[in-house]
Amino acid sequence: MSQLILSQPPERLNSELHQSAQKAFREGDYASAVVHYEQLAEQEPDRVHYFWMLGLAHLLLGAEAEAQLVWMMPMAEVEAEQFDQLTADLVALLQTEAAQLEAAESWQSSWLIRQHIREIDPENILNLLWLLRLGVNLELLDDEYIAGLDIVALLRSSPQLDLDERWIVETVRQVVDFGFDSQQTLAFAEAAMKHVQSQETVLEILLPHAYHLLPYKREDKLRLAVLYGRLCFSYDAQHLNTLRLLTAAHISLREYQESVSYARQYRDAAPDLPTQIAGNGMLGAKLLNAGFNWSEAAALLEELKDNLKHLFEQAESGADVDVQPWMLCLAFFYAYYLEDNPAQLRSLQNRMASLMQTSLRHSWQEFLAAEPYQQRFAAPVIQTARTQRKLKIAYISNCMKQHPVGFLARWLLKHHNRDRYDIYTYHIGCKEVTEFTDMWFVQSSSRLPERSNGYAAARFDGGNEIGIAKHICEHDQIDILVELDSITHDQTCAVMALRPTPIQLTWLGLDASGLPAIDYYLADPYVLPESAQDYYSEKIWRLPQTYLAVEGFEVGIPTLRRDRLGIPQDAVVVLTAQNGKKRHPDTIRLQLRIVKNVPNSYLLIRGLGDEAQVQVLFTQLAEEEGVALDRLRFLPRDPDEETHRANLGIADVVLDTFPYNGATTTLETLWMGVPIVTKVGQQWAARNSYAMMTNAGICEGIAWTDEAYIEWGVRLGEDAQLREQIALKLKQSRQTSPLWDAEKFARDVERAYEQMWDLYLQQGRFGWV
């Protein structure tokens, strides 16, 4: 075999035997291929290709020893230079075959071939990267697998690789996704990323994937998002979307200090006024989420007001002002936790929302001008719609799950009249349809969206605003769209700004967004003062009794006991249970003064936030107010909502927050029959508890001033008989109160929808778009 032939002239490949061998191999009949290639090798022993293919056929039959023996035959008596040439020729053929198998997703066979490439050429990094990918596909990847490849040391010691950087980054993503928390996985990611120079490639691949992980709200997914964010951060420490990602991931992990740090970096890196406004709001919100640095947050709010005035001046001067939905959501989310000033704040929010809508609609002019969209609002179509079919009502939200909004909204969905209305639900950012979501929302929809166009089980888990709006407008042809998110979710906000339906309204989730495209805001006689219409862009539609009704809550087994908390059985237990951003220091002082003036009383503090910082805040204020620290008890979070509700029963009195009241917590407290003290303000967020208590038939505990708040707290703390009377009234209210009559509430809401539709037809608002 001194004259070995490495290449094959085309004319020599057309023999009948060779064609039979090729055909058998490509069809996976490796036994027949072995027979044919053995004959070819005997006929032409100088042509090494036949030995390579014969060995490969043996390998794919599982005869590894035979494969290795056959491959060694042409190399047995050659010089070193020709040996290297033969090796390279074999590796090239094996790589070609592996690539074809990978294209066909034949992972096991490809893995087998690449393992033999590794034995022949152990420092072939491209092959090793492929073995990592195949380890993911075959679920073989673990620390031992990665260490066995010795790829980490090889990457660390190698100079710049001559490989497609996108391929390297995508391999890192696949491997890290599979086992990001293992030591070898992280070592591989760190070593591989040193061979990627392109910042754009890293951000383009890793950052969108990291954002895709956030809505899961699971610790493993959030940790993975943080890892990707830090990899991106190492390439550009001022990249705004990276900083936003890290801020959001850390706050979801309740790592408040880290979240605040990245939010501060974002604010400092913001290049223009709209982004500065968003960064200001992001930092303010994260400071309040943690429950500390209220003075800085208040200063940020004043800065926000000044920046907004400058932004509006720019817009009025004709400058191109680009306000995106996420900017609106970040800017105002925290403002209402700091002050009760709706006339000013809502005016600013309305103007920014209008700028956002203008920017968004300018970007999507083609969609808005398209015939299907225009036809949807044509007068003949609208006028005949009610006579030919049921009214189509849809709810859109990121919160139709085990979330405060989900716990409350589910009852309306349950009691809608399916004989008169078709009900749809659109679940924005929904990654996993839980049992709760399926039972209360998906199955409550009278028509599930078609499983097409990427949308399944009433989910929009990856669609952009335009895709979602088109589906609502053109596919489902919804008449009335009700959003539950307001400015808490940018994608919902964007869909509403595109106005895919004739009538749009906001309900429940948060105060109204201020978007001109939203027609109505559902309220009741109490949750907004009569003057509120002066500073709302939406028409306030007041339902006759209550803007919300539920049939109750699931209650678990309590885990709190007075004796285990070191509290005497005859003591008065006062509870405040809210998240950090609702714990305004001024209200904490009022709560401490109540405890100070109620003998033998103890204050229990529970809720989300940086627990250490919340304790520092309460401790400092308690010392200033002269309240002994041994009268404070800081409670850990409850494991679930059912336990949280059961544990409310330990309290004699619950103290509400201000200027942002409880909402779901207030309802849960009333359901458990516990007296509550609330202070009433002017904004929606400062009137929720007042509205709910009034609709439950309770006036005891409703205060309009700081002094009255303290007086009610002291009175309820001292008067056990009054507390018992309130508890009895609350128990009886379950049978009589509009707050607990979800079926009647559903009829009131449906009547409102009908009236809105009739007004729409009467006013002829068909060509507004």
Domain with residue 678: its CATH number is 3.40.50.2000
As a whole number of angstroms, the distance between CA 646 and CA 373 comes to 50
As a whole number of angstroms, the distance between CA 129 and CA 172 comes to 9
As a whole number of angstroms, the distance between CA 459 and CA 446 comes to 15
357 with 374, same domain: the answer is no
Read off the pLDDT of residues 361-370 as tens digits, 9 standing for 90 and up: 988 888 888 8
> What DSSP designation does 471 have?
I
Does residue 45 belong to any structural domain of this protein? yes
Residue 383 confidence (pLDDT): 57
As a whole number of angstroms, the distance between CA 509 and CA 548 comes to 11
Parent domain of 661: 563-740
Domain boundary among 308, 340, 363: 363
Amino acid at 608: L
Residue 573 confidence (pLDDT): 98
Identify the CA nearest to 192 among candidates 128, 144, 135, 99. 128
Q: Which residue has the tokens 């910082």?
A: 613
526 with 378, same domain: the answer is yes
Does residue 303 belong to any structural domain of this protein? yes
Read off the pLDDT of residues 466-480 as tens digits, 9 standing for 90 and up: 889 989 998 899 999
Does residue 93 belong to any structural domain of this protein? yes
Q: Which residues contact 39 (CB under 8 A, 6 or more apart)?
A: 17
295 with 412, same domain: the answer is no
Does residue 529 belong to any structural domain of this protein? yes
Q: Which residues contact 435 (CB under 8 A, 6 or more apart)?
A: none
Identify the CA nearest to 683 among candidates 337, 352, 334. 337
Does residue 72 belong to any structural domain of this protein? yes
Residue 297 confidence (pLDDT): 94
667 with 703, same domain: the answer is yes
Rounded (5°) CA angle 643-649-655: 105
Domain with residue 441: its CATH number is 3.40.50.11380
Whether pTM exceeds 0.85: yes
274 with 378, same domain: the answer is no
Read off the pLDDT of residues 386-437 as tens digits, 9 standing for 90 and up: 556 789 999 999 999 999 999 999 999 999 999 999 999 999 988 888 899 9
Does residue 12 belong to any structural domain of this protein? yes
Within a 10 A sphere around the Cβ of 265, how many other Cβ atoms?
20
Identify the CA nearest to 660 among candidates 684, 676, 691. 684
Domain count, the chain: 4
What is residue 705's three-state secondary structure?
Answer: coil
Flag residues of the chain having pLDDT under 70.
1-14, 378-388, 447-463, 764-769
Tell me the two tokens of residue 698.
Answer: 């309770």
701 with 587, same domain: the answer is yes
30 with 103, same domain: the answer is yes
Q: Are the beta carbons of 585 and 621 closer than 8 angstroms?
A: yes
Q: Are the beta carbons of 430 and 215 closer than 8 angstroms?
A: yes
Domain with residue 44: its CATH number is 1.25.40
Identify the CA nearest to 269 among candidates 241, 295, 250, 290. 241
CA 759 to chain centre: 37
Does residue 160 belong to any structural domain of this protein? no
353 with 370, same domain: the answer is no
Q: ω into residue 502 within 30 of 0, thus cis?
A: no
Could you give the dihedral angle defined by the CA atoms of residues 761, 762, 764 and 768, in that order, rounded to the nearest 10 degrees?
-70
Read off the pLDDT of residues 634-692 as tens digits, 9 standing for 90 and up: 999 899 999 999 999 999 999 999 999 999 999 999 999 999 999 999 999 999 999 99
What is residue 480's three-state secondary structure?
Answer: strand
Q: Are the beta carbons of 232 and 210 closer than 8 angstroms?
A: yes
581 with 483, same domain: the answer is no
